[in-house]
Amino acid sequence: MTDQDRDLPASSDECTGALFGLILIFGSFFLYNPISKWLHNETRPAPAPVVTSAPAYNVANLPQLRAGEVIDFTDGKNRTALIAGWSVSELQGVWSLGTEASLGFVLGVDRAPERLNIKAAVFLEPEKLPKQRIEVWSGNTKLSTAVLTVSEAEFVVPLDKASPDKDGALILAFHLPDSATPRQILGTPDDRRIAIHLKSVGGLP
């Protein structure tokens, strides 16, 4: 290279290449530098919590339940206890609708039950739907989980962690992850997504 060549200015292509190289170097630094990652995480807002609101109810309409008593749901009885997620009443009880259903009652002051005995028919099919899982919740507290594998079932729900309101009303949410439609399982025209056919809720000491 001659002295004359050394004095020539860099071409535009050379300048562009150098600039591009600097961008890559600084970009890599900010992408992979631990301090940059820490700053990025610090400024990212935390995801908002998912809040499920309780269904509306009128405590004056809820039946009362004491130990030794039973709330009967056959033949249309005690519809006011069925707060949300239930089908029309039938002679032998009422089907749950969807993946969640709520019911409520007022705990008797003199003989409040410590457990519940729940009787229900269960929507099953030996091959396609051999079980129904039933979770019972009080607010954000899970009280029990039952796995039902017979068409006529009873299961017990303890109430030691339940949270009644100031008026003694207890609202229970039934989570029904295995609910399905008879059209899916049996090929019938019924499109209701069902799980249990509730018959009664009894109070146990």
Percent of the chain topping pLDDT 90: 72
**Domain residue limits at 69:** 60-204
SS3 52: coil
User: 156 CB contacts (<8 Å, ≥6 apart)?
Assistant: 115, 116, 117, 118, 144, 204
Inside any domain, residue 55: no
Examine the domain organization and report whether 33 and 109 are in the same domain: no
User: 37 CB contacts (<8 Å, ≥6 apart)?
Assistant: none
Distance CA 65, CA 132 (A): 26
Comparing 28 with 30, the larger pLDDT belongs to 28
Specify the number of domains making up the chain: 2
pLDDT at 172 over 60: yes
> What is the pLDDT at residue 43?
43
Examine the domain organization and report whether 164 and 65 are in the same domain: yes
Inside any domain, residue 52: no
pLDDT at 162 over 70: yes
On average, the pLDDT of the chain sits at 84
> What is the pLDDT at residue 55?
83
Examine the domain organization and report whether 122 and 195 are in the same domain: yes
Examine the domain organization and report whether 98 and 17 are in the same domain: no
Mean pLDDT of 179-205: 98
Question: CA of 6: how far to CAs of 1, 11, 12, 69, 116, in Å?
Answer: 7, 13, 16, 103, 94
Examine the domain organization and report whether 141 and 200 are in the same domain: yes
Inside any domain, residue 83: yes
Contact 115, 68 (CB under 8 A): no
Examine the domain organization and report whether 97 and 187 are in the same domain: yes
Inside any domain, residue 200: yes
Inside any domain, residue 22: yes
SS3 80: helix
Terminal Cα distance for the chain, rounded: 102
pLDDT at 68 over 80: yes
Examine the domain organization and report whether 104 and 194 are in the same domain: yes
Comparing 40 with 97, the larger pLDDT belongs to 97
Q: What angle in degrees, to the nearest 10, is found between the helix axes of 34-43 and 12-32?
A: 60
SS3 100: strand
Least confident of 15-19, 176-180, 196-200: 15-19
Question: What CATH code is carried by the domain that includes residue 90?
Answer: 2.60.120.260
Inside any domain, residue 182: yes
What's the token pair of residue 97? 């609708």
Examine the domain organization and report whether 32 and 91 are in the same domain: no
pLDDT at 46 over 50: no
Give how far the C-alpha of residue 85 lies from the chain's centroid of Cα atoms, to the nearest Å.
Answer: 13
- 121-158: pLDDT as tens digits: 999 999 999 999 999 999 999 999 999 999 999 999 99
Examine the domain organization and report whether 114 and 186 are in the same domain: yes
Distance CA 17, CA 181 (A): 65
Inside any domain, residue 25: yes
Comparing 6 with 51, the larger pLDDT belongs to 6
Examine the domain organization and report whether 36 and 102 are in the same domain: no
